[in-house]
Amino acid sequence: VTFTSPNFGWLDSMRKNVGHCKLYMPVWELAELSDAVVMLNLNISYEELVERYQKFGGVPRYCLATDCDFYQQGLDEMEQAIEKIKTFEDVQACFEKSMPKNLVVHRLLHYFPKENPKFATLRFGSDLIGAQIYDRLFVKLAREREKLMHWLEGAGKTSSFYGWLFENLAHEKLFD
């Protein structure tokens, strides 16, 4: 049985049977998907394929989908899964396989096999997924910092900490 998505419940059930061997399958590369479009005579332009690949990584069911509704449903489900990530601890839980049941990890993470396909590492399914989660958490962090700065404003003993927070905020604004 091969896996690309982290369905931990099923992986655990496979582990219990000594007759099963767990192997990790890499997601498809863009060149492989492009070849599949040609070989299957799919009506998907290369530009559309690249866009899908950037969103989903190398998941063929979405990258090669010919049903627009199915493709849109995949985008919606991925967005819903990203919206469930609310804290840094949620991201950590996804990678540590200790996430709450409400997180849809298999939409966000993929296994990337090592040289020996019996071992793999977990990564975000695409750069876009990682960037969207980062953006969500960065906005939350910025709000929390603003609250803290407002609370610290004018407090004598904490003025150096307030200054440090303000300086970092100014650097981020200038960098943007």
Our CA dihedral for 10, 52, 33, 50, rounded to 10 degrees, sits at -150
Q: Which of 135, 113, 96 is nearest to 8 (CA)?
A: 96
pTM of the model: 0.69
Positions of the chain with pLDDT lower than 50, given as ranges? 1-2
CB 105 within 8 A of CB 129: no
pLDDT for 1: 46
| 1 touches 22 (CB < 8 A) | yes
- Name residue, tokens 């899908």: 52
In DSSP notation, 13-70 reads HHHT-TT---EEPPPPPHHHHHHHHHHTT----HHHHHHHHHHHSS-HHHHT---HHH
